[in-house]
Structure 1
Amino acid sequence: MVTAKTSLAPVISPVSIKERSGSISTEDVISALKGQITGLHIKQAFSPELADEIAANFTRNPGLKERKDGVPGQYVGASHYRKNADTYFAESENARPFVDALFGNLVDPVRALFDALKRDLHKQGIELRLFRSEHGEANLCRAICWSGTGMYCLEPHDDVAQVLCAGKGSELPTVANNTVVALNFYPSMPEEGGNLRIWSHKPTEADRKSQGLENSGYPYSEAYLEPLPYHDLPLKTGDIALIDGGFVHGVTRQSGNGRPRLLLNCFLGFARPDRVLWWT
């Protein structure tokens, strides 16, 4: 007898969303790591001049590629999504000079935050380091332009499934027991749209399995998400977003002035009480 797959009704999860202007602090990141906030939108977090230079370096970057993993977009860097550790670290090593070229001689806002967070966590007896193994080490960030053409230029998804499926022998899946934080810097944004949409739903393994998404967390259907409330972060050039990647989130369709929606993205989370990992 064949049992039909049961689709679970999504449970509404409480969210804590904050918005403000100014620079990002290590306290902001630590709050997200501890699961104290669902999302933080920081407006005008870095200068338009720096943003424009990074965007120009992306456009002319010799490492610019089209994604071929079923998630439409252009990118510079490496992603662990649907890859084993060996493949991911090899791609990270090959991409390293191209990621460096995004910044050239510019102030690197991602490196500056990483270094500050490393110092502050060290004072608490916590190590912050890049995800690594004997096969290599993660890059500090990747640059992405999502290019989906439907209702979303990045379909609704969660970031936990891909961490759980990071491969045997990897320490990354242990992060999924805690909060998987997604950190995004925005060097370029369209005039309209391209908002980061966060639904009030943090799927469980059973939820993902009911949707057939246990190995990817991508994409959740409109029908599944329809009864759930959501919050949009109306991002602009120079903004930073920090979110709990366990909540379903996506990117709304973009329009307007023709500027690309470009982000610098990385992930981080506790692998154990005294260690935070950082990866792409």
Structure 2
Amino acid sequence: MVTAQVPQAPAISPVATKERTGSISAGEIISVLKGEITVLHIKQAFSPEIAEEITTNFNRNPGLKQRKDGVPGQYVGASHYRRNAAAYFAEAESARPFVEALFANLVDPVRALFDALKRELHKQGVELRPARSERGQANICRAICWSGTGTYSLEPHDDVAQILCAGKDCELPAVANNTVAALNFYPSMPNEGGNLRIWSHKPTASDRKSQGVETTGYPYSAAYLEALPYHDVQLEAGDIAVIDGGFVHGVTRQSGNGKPRLLLNCFLGFARPDLVLWWT
């Protein structure tokens, strides 16, 4: 007699959150990279004037494209999702002028934060640099408007599976042994919805296999997540959020004033104890 296998309920992982108002510090980002904080939310981290200018530059950007990889949204920049290293770095190089145009003559809040992080890590004997190959290197960020029309603007997913499958000719898979942090700046937010939702669950390889998302981490089903607690980050324009991207997370449906939910995003993590990489 064969006993039917009962699907195992997803394990609950504790979520450590920190939320405050003001400028973000390099030390707080390092705490996320070291797994000490799961969700870091800094309100009013950069000025409304800069946020508005970046949004205008995004809408007018000649490099603005529709995503064609099964994840609905508009973007400026490059994404390694479902791309091999050669294709990703080639796109990053060709998109660089468009990414730079997002900031025009502004004081770039993303680069300012990276400069501070680089100085702090250097004191600890750690190098911070973009992921690279012989074909080029990653940009400082990408700009994205998610446009899903269901329950979520961006379906629940994790950020680890896609780098585990980035290929042997890429630096990124080594980061999956550590925390994969997602760094998000929000220049524009709708009046309602568009919140960042993080479930108390950090999937394993077997969890991904059970959901059929071994190579993408996207999307996890509502049924799979139903019994899990979650935390919603209520975002406004000018906020910054840094999260452990190994936890399942998504973006709630947005509505209200017609303003877009625009974010500037990159990922970063330890590839070695003396090296932190970033990529998009």
Length-normalised TM-score, structure 1: 0.98
Aligned to 2:165: 165
1:70 aligned partner, one-letter code: G
Query: Is the Cα–Cα contact under 8 Å of residues 8 and 207 in structure 1 kept in the other structure?
Result: no
* TM-superposition CA deviations, 1:133-188 (whole Å, max 9, x none): 11110000000000000000000000000010111221210000000000000000
SS in 2 for 1:110: helix
Distance 1:123 1:68, change over 3 A: same
Equivalent-residue separation in structure 2 for 1:6 and 1:54 (angstroms): 50
Equivalent-residue separation in structure 1 for 2:46 and 2:253 (angstroms): 24
SS in 1 for 2:179: coil
Aligned to 1:193: 193
Equivalent-residue separation in structure 2 for 1:6 and 1:220 (angstroms): 19
Identity %: 79
1:200 aligned partner, one-letter code: S
Aligned to 1:269: 269
Pair 1:54-2:54 in alignment = yes
Structure 1 unaligned blocks of 5 or more: none
CA RMSD, 1 decimal: 1.2
2:85 aligned partner, one-letter code: A
Pair 1:37-2:53 in alignment = no
1:57 aligned partner, one-letter code: N
Query: Is the Cα–Cα contact under 8 Å of residues 160 and 180 in structure 1 kept in the other structure?
Result: yes
Pair 1:215-2:215 in alignment = yes
Equivalent-residue separation in structure 1 for 2:252 and 2:52 (angstroms): 22
Equivalent-residue separation in structure 2 for 1:239 and 1:100 (angstroms): 21
SS in 1 for 2:185: strand
Aligned to 2:64: 64
Aligned to 1:146: 146
Equivalent-residue separation in structure 1 for 2:208 and 2:172 (angstroms): 19
Comparing 253-262 with 112-121, greater Cα deviation is found at 112-121
Aligned to 2:178: 178
Length-normalised TM-score, structure 2: 0.98
Aligned to 2:229: 229
Query: Is the Cα–Cα contact under 8 Å of residues 6 and 210 in structure 1 kept in the other structure?
Result: no
1:235 aligned partner, one-letter code: L
SS in 2 for 1:202: coil
SS in 2 for 1:12: coil
Shift of 1:8: 3.4
Shift of 1:5: 8.8
Shift of 1:68: 0.1
* TM-superposition CA deviations, 1:117-145 (whole Å, max 9, x none): 11111111100000001111000000000
Shift of 1:7: 4.1
Aligned to 1:117: 117
Aligned to 1:258: 258
Alignment of 1:80-95 (within 5 A): 80-95=80-95
Query: Is the Cα–Cα contact under 8 Å of residues 139 and 279 in structure 1 kept in the other structure?
Result: yes
